[in-house]
Amino acid sequence: MTEYESEPVPGLPGRLPKGETIIWQGSPNWRVLARTAFHTRVVAAYFAALTVFAAGNAAWHGVSGAADLSGVAITLAAGVIGVALLHLLAWATARSTIYTLTDRRIVLRIGIALPKCINLPLGIIGNVDLRQRMAGTGDLAIKLNSEQRLGYVALWPHARPWHYSEPQPMMRAVPDISTVATLLARACMSIQTNGRVVPIETATRLGAVAEQAVAA
């Protein structure tokens, strides 16, 4: 059985109700996800510093044989394995994740071993913050007006960092972020007609993209 055989529509918990339409579906860019969610560059830099320190310490005390460099080799190997495992985890996370935008809701299909779907009706979205990343990707952090709270651990890594008391779902490393943000802005504005637009020159809030979309 493949990972999608139990889903009537990939990325959704069931078939769409009559009248609901999928606007966009996509998955995170796993390389960007590795850097931004799993911090592979930070971990690599940390182990690189440890390796340099171990090598300097060995040189200071004198190197008379291969045994004197065992600490350097172990540190380097631990760093390589650790970074490789983080990349593997990022790849598996991206492969098992599907973000879906319809004209009524956002659905986060997340989870590697135990996939689950999180429904976010557009009507309970308070605001969406856009953060642009490398290679045309970006993150969309979603603040909800609903009193119902989502668990940070249950969302991670699809949660806005450091927002533990009021966790915010986050669509991470989304490819072609400008297009997706525009589509999301239009969908939200169609549901919440009293929505506010923030100029793109002064903020990265999603409403700025909506302003460009309306102007177009």
Residue 162 Rama label (left phi>0; alpha psi -120 to 50; beta): left
pLDDT of residue 136: 94
Is the predicted pLDDT of residue 3 greater than 60, yes or no?
no
pLDDT of residue 201: 46
Alpha helices in the chain (DSSP H): 30-36, 40-61, 70-96, 152-155, 177-191, 206-215
* Mean pLDDT of all residues belonging to the chain: 85
Give the mean pLDDT of 16-44.
97
pLDDT of residue 171: 98
pLDDT of residue 57: 76
Q: Which residue has the higher pLDDT, 68 or 157?
A: 157
Q: Which of 29-33, 132-136, 205-209 has the highest mean pLDDT?
A: 29-33
Give pLDDT tens digits for 121-135: 999 998 899 999 998
- Torsion, Cα 172 22 178 162, to 10 degrees, reads -30
Residue 67 neighbours by CB under 8 Å, 6+ apart? none
Is the predicted pLDDT of residue 56 greater than 80, yes or no?
yes
Residue with tokens 């002064």: 202
pLDDT of residue 197: 52
Give pLDDT tens digits for 182-203: 999 999 988 876 765 554 444 4
Give pLDDT tens digits for 57-74: 777 766 665 555 777 888
Residue 77 pLDDT class (50, 70, 90 cuts): very high
Indicate the domain borders of the chain: 120-215
Residue 139 neighbours by CB under 8 Å, 6+ apart? 36, 130, 131, 133, 170, 171, 172, 173, 174, 177
